[in-house]
Amino acid sequence: MPLLSVLPKLRAMTTALITHPDCLNHLTPEGHPERVDRLHAIAAALQDFNLLRLEAPMGEDAHILRTHPQTHIDRVKSAGVGPLDADTHMSEGSLTAAYRGVGAVVKAVDMVMGGEVSNTFCAIRPPGHHAERETPMGFCLFGNVTIAAKHALEVYGLSRVAIMDFDVHHGNGTQDLVWEDARILFASTHQMPLYPGSGAASETGAHGNVLNCPLGPETDGASFRKVMKDQVLPAIDAFAPELVLISAGFDAHMNDPLSNLNWVEDDFACATHQLCDLADKHCEGRVVSTLEGGYDLAGLAASCSAHVKVLMERGK
């Protein structure tokens, strides 16, 4: 019998999971929903997945400066320990955690653009989509997904990058950071009314490059699927992105304590499939997904694993 026939079939790993233990050192006050256990829950849910597992390098100021001014970096660096606002807290490990997050998304773009993997999921915290140009807020310090988009545009010479944000909260920070940049399409589904209050359909960006799809409280995954089909997917398709980024918040899950949407795991899986369809059509399947919210640990773990499972199925 030929030797090869008895070897286990080798399957190339097509999805990278990028994270770092330093992201566990961003500590928030007792009772804060954005807590260390979120990453433990995700790690447990993904532990048996056949992922290429990588530690995030440290991000660099040069990466952040494409998105935030030096004054913002200086403010975060010099904040010390304590609250930046009512929601956003710094502990001794927060700055390093945030720089690991930046490093993770930059590494993810490098790997996907370099063809090392088809897609990536960055399990990082603090999250990023509420951080505005000069304002850390909503648990977020740096606009991770926008930093990833700008890295792809500047380093790889891309012309069009799409960001889809299905976190239950509007990504006001991402919207602020991409508002003037016609090279970036930002599409968001989110509950309205809800924190932070922005994200009306009338907010469309300086170049028509922002698409906001607010959803009413207590709506379920069917509303999300309809708005994806009718608005988000056609907009991304028409934009013909060269890279698809996902702000993957899982707090629209029906059990999430911070919101009132009633999505289930399969809704996240469906959206991931649809975004992979467009990535296949326009950019050889290149998808970089990064964690935003999700505060019910069981709902987060199940939804995140459904999302990553689809990324793995769709990678090639």
- Told to check if 170 binds Zn ion by CB under 5 A, we report no
Q: Does the footprint of Zn ion cover residue 199 (CB under 5 A)? A: no
Task: Name the phi and psi angles at 170, rounded to 5.
Answer: -65, 135
Q: Work out which of 167, 181, 242, 296 binds Zn ion, going by CB under 5 A.
A: 167
Find the part of the chain contacting Zn ion (CB under 5 A) among 24-32, 162-170, 226-234, 236-244. Answer: 162-170
Going by the DSSP 8-state scheme, the letter that residue 155 receives in this structure is: H
Identify which range of 20-28, 220-228, 291-299, 306-314 contacts Zn ion by CB under 5 A: 291-299
Q: Minimum distance from CB of 290 to Zn ion (Å)?
A: 13
Q: Total number of residues binding Zn ion (CB under 5 A)?
A: 5
154 backbone dihedrals φ, ψ, rounded to 5°: -80, -40
Q: Is 130 a catalytic residue?
A: yes
Beta carbon of residue 101, minimum distance to Zn ion (angstroms, whole number): 15
Region 230-259 residues binding Zn ion, contact defined as CB under 5 A:
249, 251
Are the C-beta atoms of 144 and 127 separated by less than 8 Å?
A: yes
Rounded to 5 degrees, what angle do the CA atoms 293, 189, 171 make?
A: 55
Residue position matching structure tokens 């689809």? 310
Look at strands 82-83 and 210-215 and give their pairing: unpaired
By beta-carbon proximity to Zn ion, the closer residue of 306 and 312 is 306
Cβ 302 to Zn ion shortest distance, Å:
17
CA-to-CA distance for 110 and 284, rounded, in angstroms?
A: 15
CA–CA separation, 233 vs 65, rounded Å? 30
Work out whether 87 is an interface residue with Zn ion (CB under 5 A): no
3-state secondary structure of 191: strand
Nearer to Zn ion by C-beta: 38 or 68? 38
List 199, 293, 299, 315, residue binding Zn ion (CB under 5 A): 293
In the three-class reduction of DSSP (H, G, I as helix; E, B as strand; rest coil), residue 145 is classed as: helix
Give the CB-nearest residue to Zn ion: 293
Q: Would you say 14 or 198 has its CB closer to Zn ion? A: 198
Q: Is 169 in the site for Zn ion (CB under 5 A)?
A: yes
Residues 72, 129, 130, 170: which is the catalytic one?
130
DSSP string, 179-224: TT-TTEEEEEEEESS-TT----TT---TTS-EEEEEE-TT-BHHHH
Nearer to Zn ion, 55 or 85 (CB): 85
> DSSP for 95-115?
HHHHHHHHHHHHHHHHHHHTT
Provide, rounded to whole angstroms, the least separation between the CB of residue 198 and Zn ion.
13
Give the integer Cα–Cα distance in Å for 306 and 74. 38
**Which residues have a catalytic role annotated?**
130
Residues that bind Zn ion (CB under 5 A): 167, 169, 249, 251, 293
